[in-house]
Every structure is written in structure tokens, then in C-alpha cells.
Amino acid sequence: VILLCFRRYLLMALFSCLFGNTFALSAAVDSKPNILLFLADDLGIGDIGCYGNNTIRTPNIDSLARGGVKLTQHIAAAPLCTPSRAAFLTGRYPIRSGMASSNGYRALQWNAGSGGLPTNETTFARLLQQQGYITGLIGKWHQGVNCESVNDHCHHPLNHGFDYFYGMPFTLLNNCQEDKHPELDAALQAKLWLYSHIITLAVLTLTAGKLTGLISIHWKTIACFTLVGGIFFGSWYSSYGFVQYWNCILMRNHDIIEQPMRLERTSSLMLKEAVSFIKRNRHRPFLLFVSFLHVHTPLFTTAKFLGKSRHDLYGDNVEEMDWMLGKILDSLDKEGLTNHTFTYFASDHGGHLEAHDGSTQLGGWNGIYKGGKGMGGWEGGIRVPGVFRWPGVLPAGTVINEPTSLMDIYPTVVHLAGGILPQDRVIDGRNLMPLLRGRVQKSEHEFLFHYCGSYLHAVRWHQKDSGAIWKAHYVTPIFHPLRAGACYGKGICPCFGEGVSHHDPPLLFDLSRDPSETKPLSADTEPLFDTVIGKIGRATEEHRRTLTPVPEQLSLYNIMWKPWLQPCCGTFPFCWCDKEGDSTQSL
């Protein structure tokens, strides 16, 4: 009997050695993995080590890349926060959902605006929720809050498929830190402040003239000037004068817990919440979307990281974000979930070149790529890091140079969860799993369309038979100063009007030979010029036929501040609270 048992044990051991890894891999793929998504804010592709930076330390992101798959041509669907994130959440170009702007305001401006991600859009969180996943969002939202009343929460994360939300319904701004220059609509604020001074000066001059008899004017006229001036000042200062209170708030689900936020403890709170979410949901499939507030200005960084990098405050902030990511991955490992978790890291768009304080650069570096945040066509505004890890399923140390999109995350995670994509709308993303696992060698994307607001600036054609990546620019921003590579005189490059150049024929580049877009081709230098331009033009017309009119969520009315929609933890306008107190602990 002992001999028979021993023989059976040897056979089982041999069987396990020969086929164990195969069955483990099959089980990992067939079962529903946890899904952990990291999205940085304003991070340039050249800011992290695995994409060539050797002066900013990002060991945890680099380790993620070594243990998985790195994409070198990962493209955001828009060069600004609000539309890019809308596309990420829905798998659709933002123009399809109304999250692309035709005016100068291309992102949501207020928590108390009425625009935001429409309720008829279906996020990947909603589809995963339907597949039994517990879904959580920690960090930045920037997709709106309310529509018609202060408590309808129509655009809120909990109304878009997330079971749990902890973070900012808006985005970080310089206005969130008292010692920083205002960032929200700074040019308009300066004009309104000037007009207020002019009106005040006029009232004082008229009053002095009346009292000295130098000006013949009725007191009623002076009173009227004073009233109009007071209304003018009060109407704009009631919003812009209290940006820190109106926009810089922290929420848990529908409850405001800090108004305004205490930035010195925000990173600790976000990290604590992410680790806690993983721990309490370790026994069921979960989706955790960690939407970093880093590395958007004002770059508030805790003392532990201040002055530690070689790139001033920006580098400090990047290194703190990498440390936070490492701590979250450590918690995943501690719970024994690493091998059963599909992990992804990216940035919402390129680094902000125009962000600076004197000679100190406060924005990211986009490597060899031209342009940056706000530029819908140039690579620096839309080419971002893209890193995946799933031990035992995705081959470690793989680099993929094929064109992919942030919109691809939508069908990819829905596929992993066993869900079905919506059949009543166009989904522009493609399932990446065959490409990531090496089952196919080519991306499913033949064309990618690059919008700046609602204006099409460029189109990319992946010519699969030759390997060429053609890119035609119909519109490009006019740099300020000229040849500066950015719009330093404007803060961010415009999408239309006098600040752009239109090209007919379009500027054409072959990114496979000229990724920096420095040598535009012509019919004289490229034999295929007319063929390529014609092919891209026909694809553009076909793409436009798939677009249907939808309400513009970023219209001037929708983005304006509305007092009746202002989230407030007190009695409006006395909005102030601190429910976190001293609950933070070091992690």
C-alpha cells in the first residue's frame, strides 16, 4: 500500500511539473482577473525611466514594464484632461459623447458647471459592475458632478458604474494652494480685475468731481455707476475669488469630506484609500481605477520627497507618484493577488510644456516628440506611456511598437471580465489582449483621428503591409514665440482661429522614419505622397459619416459656474468642512 501511494505521489508530481504551468495559465486567463488601472495626470512620455529618462527615478513603473509589456506608440484620444478621460472611460472619441469643445474652453472649469459625461454613455466600470465586479475610483474624476440640482449627481462616478469613489470630482489647480498664482482662467480673471479697477476709479473720479463742482452730474447717476460696478465685481469675484472653496474639494461617494482640501495630507489619504480598497475586496473580483492627482500643477509634494530629485519640484512630484504606485503594488502582493491582477499604467496626455514659474519648469518632458499638452496633432501632446503587467499571461520584457489607444482599455477590460460591448453605438477602441499576448503582430487600428476640441487636426494611417506610419496634419498651432515648440505666450495652444495654421495639402510625415515630425514630405520627396493623402482623406470622410450630432457638454453655458449646482458641505455660500481631521496615518 505504501509503495502504491508513493508511486501515485510521483506520478502526480511529474504531471504537475509537466502541465502545471499550462493549467495555471489557462485558469488565470479563463477566470476573471482583478483589474488595476493607474492613470497619471499631465505626465510626459519622457519623464520615466523605462522610456529613456535617466535623471528622474521611477523604479516601480520601470519594474512594471520589465515584468510585462511596454507600448511605444500609445495614443491619447485628446490632448487635455476632460476629453481624454471621457474617451478612456467610454472607448469612444470624445466628439461622439459631446465631450469635445468648439469654443476656447476644452475642459470642465467648475464643480458647479452643468456639463459632464452624459448619463447615456456606458463606462467600462458599468459593464464590469454588471459582471459581478466591485468597482472603485480613487483620485481625479473631472467628468462633472450635477446637471440640474445640487444633489442629482448625474455626472458623478457613482452614476457611471463605480461602487466607491474617493477623490476630487474636479482636478488640481494652482488655485488649490494659497501661495500659487491663479491658474483657472487666469487671463480672464486679470481682465475682470482690471475692469473692476477702472469702474472703481471712474466712480471715485465722478464723486470727487461732483463734490468739487468740476463735474456736473446727478448723484443718481453716480449711484447707478456704483451699483453696476458692485454687481459686476460681485458676479465674477463670487466665483473666481473662491476657487479654492468651490473646486478644491475631496469627496467620499456623495459626501464632501474636505472643503477646501488639505493638500499636505492628500497623497497619504489617496494611498490609504487605494490600499484599503484592495484589502477589503481581496476575495472577489475588483476593478480599481487609481487616477493620480500627480503630476498636475501646483505639484504639491510631501516633505519626504521635496528636493530629492534632479528636476526641481516637478521631478520630486513624479518620484512621489512612483513611490505611491509601488506601495499599491506592494499591497497587491501582500494579499497574494499579483498573479491574478491585470495592471495598467498610462498618462492622460502629454506633458505641459508651458507650465513654468520663472525659469523653473513645472511641466513634463515629451522626449523626442514635438509639442505637448493641448496640441491635438503633434505627437508630444498625445503619445503617452503605456505599460501592462499580468504575470504568467503577458510575456515579460515585451516591447510593442504598434499604434494603440487609451480607448483600447475599454474593450480590453470588458473582454477580460466576460462582458459584451454595447451594440447600439460605435466603440473606437480595440481589444488589446491578442496583441499583448503575442497572438497577433499587428494592431487592429488602421486609422487614428487626432482631435483638438471638436476640430480634427491630424490623422494617422498604419499601412500594415509596409510598416509605415503616415500622419497628415490638416491644422497645427502657431507656436509663440515662433519655433519655440509651444505657446508660451498663451499658456496653452489653441485649436482654432488666428492661433492655428491650416494646411492644404496637409503636412505629411512618416513616423516610422521621422517620429519627431521634423521633415514634412511632399510630392517631390515622397513618391507615394498623393496616394497616401488620398487614402487618408477618404478615411476621414468615412469617419465623419459615423458621427452623429449630440449636445455639447463643454458649451459656454454648461461650463459656467452656477451657484445652485455648487457642492457645499455647509450652508451655501459658507462651504467649509474637514471630516478627515487627523485620521491619516503613515503608510
Q: CA-to-CA distance for 479 and 427, rounded, in angstroms?
A: 34
Q: Rounded to the nearest 5 degrees, what angle is found at the Cα of 501, between the Cα atoms of 498 and 502?
A: 120
Q: Rounded to the nearest 5 degrees, what angle is found at the Cα of 168, between the Cα atoms of 162 and 170?
A: 105
Q: If we measure between CA atoms, which residue out of 133, 32, 47 comes closest to residue 345?
A: 47
Q: How many CA atoms lie within 13 A of 66 on its CB side?
A: 8
Q: CA-to-CA distance for 35 and 26, rounded, in angstroms?
A: 18
Q: If we measure between CA atoms, which residue out of 259, 114, 220 comes closest to residue 574?
A: 259
- Among the residues of 417-468, which ranges form H helices? 433-436
Cβ burial 188-227 (10 Å sphere, 16+ → b, else e): ebeebbeebeebeeebeebbeebeeeeeeeeeeebeebbe
Q: Is 76 helix (H, G, I), strand (E, B) or coil?
A: coil
Three-state SS letters, 374-391: CCCCCHHHHEEEEEEECC
Neighbours of 537 (CB within 10 A): 15
Q: CA-to-CA distance for 433 and 342, rounded, in angstroms?
A: 11
Q: Is 147 a catalytic residue?
A: no
Q: Which of 17, 50, 74, 142 is catalytic?
A: 142
Q: CA-to-CA distance for 378 and 372, rounded, in angstroms?
A: 7
What DSSP string describes 204-266? HHHHHHHHHTSS---HHHHHHHHHHHHHHHHHHHHHHTTHHHHH--EEETTEEEEES--HHHH
The DSSP bridge pattern shows strands 341-347 and 69-75 to be unpaired
- How big, in percent rounded to 5, are the helix, strand and coil portions of the chain? 35, 20, 45
| Amino acid present at 210 | K
Neighbours of 438 (CB within 10 A): 12
Task: Using the structure block, give the residue that is written with the C-alpha cell 515585451.
Answer: 398
Cβ burial 377-387 (10 Å sphere, 16+ → b, else e): bbbbbbbbbbb
Query: Residue 520: is the preceding peptide bond cis (ω within 30°)?
Result: no
Q: Is 142 a catalytic residue?
A: yes
| Amino acid present at 362 | L
Compute CA distances 272 → 143, 161, 328, whole Å: 23, 22, 9
Q: Which three cell numbers stand for residue 227?
A: 451699483
Q: Rounded to the nearest 5 degrees, what angle is found at the Cα of 392, between the Cα atoms of 400 and 420?
A: 75
Q: Which of 50, 74, 81, 311 is catalytic?
A: 81
Query: CA-CA-CA-CA torsion for 422, 424, 429, 430, nearest 10 degrees?
Result: 70
Neighbours of 104 (CB within 10 A): 15
Taking each helix axis from N to C terminus, what angle separates 409-416 and 81-90, rounded to the nearest 10 degrees?
Answer: 30
Q: Which residues are catalytic?
A: 81, 142
